[in-house]
Chains A and B, each alone.
Chain A
Amino acid sequence: MRYLVCIKQTPDTAELPKITPEEAASGKFSVNLVVNPWDELAIEAGLKLMETYGGVTGAITVGDEGAIDALRSALAMGCKDATLVKNVGADVSGVADLLAAAVKKDGDVGVVVTGQMTVDGNSGSLPVVLGRKLGWPVLTGVAKIVDLADDSITVERTVGQARLTVKTSLPAVVSVNKEIGEPRYPTFINIRKAARVKAPVLTADDLGVEVPAPVVHMTNFRKPPARDAKVQLFEGSPQEAAAALVDALLAEKVL
């Protein structure tokens, strides 16, 4: 079976606090860019599918030329092929249109795997929007893939405080969370190989997609108000400090 992992290049989470409103508005960053950490989990899930059930796992991203680095990371982890869909400026709906067209062009994809959300856009809506555009079922919050058959997939989902075992028909879109397992480290040999790979680059024209005008408009990018926190420390024995702390919390009316 063919599995396709959708990934996104995002700023390194350790550097997110350094992002300026201007950078956020323009999408051009001075900070280090990496594979969205949730998408590393998706890559791991895609590779596990390939290893457990056979088939071929590829990676795909929508972005500018620099996003090839994210694809190289996916290849270094073990994905067999990578595709860059060149686009800047599409919103979730436009990205989903491009991905849906690429998935269809790819041919025989049985499972599309995504991360639960991105650390930049934060909405977590892409897997569902993509599933609707493809007309495929969507399973979000997937913690474990229980079984894969020719025409169905069975997973465990975490939803609120419940864990559901759900079966659905293929092809399908699944979005995974951290319980899927720690993403593997790329091997040296795969990093070497990945560095030389030229990923096919597709444009909206190649895919026959007219990227729609964005339906989500973001303006007035700004830093959130700084936390007005000058820490008040309580000293003395643990008992004295704890008692004073509890008094302070009672006075704040948060207990």
Chain B
Amino acid sequence: MKFLVYIETDSGDVVASSWEALGAALSLSDDVEAVIIGDKISVGVEEVVKRGAQKVYVVEDETRQLFDLERHLADVKNVLDMSGADAFLASHTSNGRDLAAALGADKTAGVIADALELSVDGDKLKGVRGVYSGNILVDVTVDGSPQIATLRPRAFAAAEDTSASADVVLVDPANVDSPYEVLGVERTETGEVSLTEASVIVSGGRGVAKDPELGFDLIRELAGLLGAAVGASRAAVDAGFISYDHQVGQTGKVVRPDLYIAAGISGAVQHLAGMGSSKVIVAINKDAEAPIFSVANYGIVGDLFEVVPAMSEAVREKLGK
């Protein structure tokens, strides 16, 4: 099966989970091509070439600096025609999800969305994904050509730099009018680690209530030492302790880090829906009966205002930070 993998860029930088989509394709086939679309992406193109795709299609244009559904979709369709790929893969980011959904709609093809596993069965892709917010797993196949799948970030091993080489094909940007006009761009959390890409997350919940500012300062300090992203429960967000973009759970982000530290979070099922597939879960809570302890690997029954700074201290000591 011949794959075309979408390498997403944002203001010139490759979105890291794209490497996982490339890694998944390379693990399933020897016939893998990639398409990278953006502006000022020469560094990104070099990276794709070194990671094992046989051919890299490049669409570089200033109108492609930010993802534009109309333009990027038209480019992808052009490249699919040139490539003749049987399957199209993207990471299930906001933009990857939208691109794959639109491609599927236009091609009357199904999408294996947000796949946790992927395999090839004859001329079909077969995925495993969660439905009912991860409470049920299903096998998924789709009709249509190309076979389309988006992959859950952090569920697949990233393609490594193997100093490989590839043919680079420069493709003219598709000549389409976009209905979208971007009037402003604000980078919300410059320098902060993205929740969906983070290998470690430290989250705070209702337990910070007696001094929310100090509570999240302590959580941020520990997160900073660990190179971790900062998360939060819905209760903390709804109470205004921290902004919504930090919310993990049913109506927030779904994450799967190697390590999830839940500080002062009781562990409602809606929160578990967002972080239940983390590899290792640590619970810190004053209430020994809190449901979070039933999914945690490690726990401390105690006050996060004491335990979190003590963890920071221990990390400094043991990791020499």
**B182 at the A interface (CB under 8 A):** yes
Q: Which of A11, A120, A217, A239 has the most CB of B within 10 A?
A: A217
Bound: A219/B70 CA distance, A: 33
Q: Which of B142, B179, B297 contacts A229 (CB 8 A)?
A: B297
CB-based contact B108/A93 at 8 Å: yes
CB-based contact B132/A246 at 8 Å: no
* A221 and B138 in contact, given A129-B104, A160-B93 (Cβ under 8 angstroms): yes
CB-based contact B132/A242 at 8 Å: no
Secondary structure class of chain A's binding surface, majority of residues: mixed
* A231 and B247 in contact, given A123-B113, A140-B98 (Cβ under 8 angstroms): no
> CB-CB contacts of A38-59 with B at 8 A, as 1s and 0s?
1001000000000000000000
Nearest CB to that of B93 among chain A residues? A160
* A24 and B179 in contact, given A13-B273, A138-B69, A227-B295 (Cβ under 8 angstroms): no
Nearest CB to that of A126 among chain B residues? B101
A138 to chain B, nearest CB (A): 7
Bound: A144/B226 CA distance, A: 33
Residues of B within 8 A of A88 (CB): none
> CB-CB contacts of B189-214 with A at 8 A, as 1s and 0s?
10010100001100000000000000
Contacts of A213-255 to chain B: CB distance below 8 A: 213-224, 227, 229, 231-235, 238-239, 241-243, 245-250, 252, 254-255
> CB-CB contacts of A168-202 with B at 8 A, as 1s and 0s?
11001000011100100000000000000000000
Bound: A255/B199 CA distance, A: 9
**A87 at the B interface (CB under 8 A):** no
* A128 and B282 in contact, given A140-B94, A159-B95 (Cβ under 8 angstroms): no
Residues of A within 8 A of B102 (CB): 128-129, 131-132, 138
B104 to chain A, nearest CB (A): 7
Residues of A within 8 A of B318 (CB): 243, 246-247, 250
Among A14-22, A62-70, A75-83, A103-111, the stretch that binds chain B is A14-22
**B82 at the A interface (CB under 8 A):** no
* A224 and B135 in contact, given A215-B108, A231-B298, A232-B299 (Cβ under 8 angstroms): yes
Secondary structure class of chain B's binding surface, majority of residues: mixed
Bound: A239/B17 CA distance, A: 37
CB-based contact A223/B182 at 8 Å: no
**B166 at the A interface (CB under 8 A):** no
Residues of B within 8 A of A252 (CB): 259, 280, 297
**B131 at the A interface (CB under 8 A):** yes
Residues of A within 8 A of B158 (CB): none
Sorting the interface of chain B by its residue count into under 10, 10 to 19, 20 to 34 or 35 or more gives: 35 or more
Bound: A21/B317 CA distance, A: 48
* A215 and B270 in contact, given A234-B298, A255-B226 (Cβ under 8 angstroms): no
CB-based contact A231/B296 at 8 Å: yes
* A249 and B133 in contact, given A162-B188, A242-B310 (Cβ under 8 angstroms): no
Contacts of B286-321 to chain A: CB distance below 8 A: 293-303, 306-307, 310-311, 313-315, 317-319
Bound: A15/B161 CA distance, A: 44
CB-based contact B259/A24 at 8 Å: no
Contacts of B121-149 to chain A: CB distance below 8 A: 129-144
Q: Which of A16, A167, A179, A242 contacts B133 (CB 8 A)?
A: A16
A19 to chain B, nearest CB (A): 5
Among B22-30, B32-40, B44-52, B250-258, the stretch that binds chain A is B250-258
**B2 at the A interface (CB under 8 A):** no
Q: Which of B138, B247, B252, B258 has the most CB of A within 10 A?
A: B138
* A119 and B133 in contact, given A93-B110, A160-B15 (Cβ under 8 angstroms): yes
Q: List 29 A-B contacts (CB under 8 A).
A: A14-B270, A17-B135, A19-B135, A19-B136, A24-B132, A24-B136, A24-B138, A96-B105, A125-B97, A128-B69, A128-B105, A154-B183, A160-B10, A160-B95, A162-B188, A164-B66, A164-B182, A166-B182, A214-B110, A214-B143, A215-B104, A216-B141, A216-B143, A224-B277, A231-B299, A238-B300, A238-B303, A242-B307, A252-B259
B interface, CB within 8 angstroms of A: 10, 15, 66-67, 69-70, 93-95, 97-98, 100-102, 104-106, 108-114, 129-144, 179-189, 192, 194, 199-200, 226, 237-238, 244-245, 247, 250-252, 258-259, 268-270, 272-273, 276-277, 279-283, 293-303, 306-307, 310-311, 313-315, 317-319
Closest 8 CB pairs of A and B: A215-B110, A242-B310, A125-B101, A123-B113, A132-B105, A165-B184, A128-B101, A238-B306
| Other A-B pairs beyond A162-B188, A245-B311, A254-B199, 9, CB < 8 Å | A16-B133, A19-B135, A122-B133, A132-B101, A133-B105, A154-B183, A162-B185, A222-B136, A241-B310
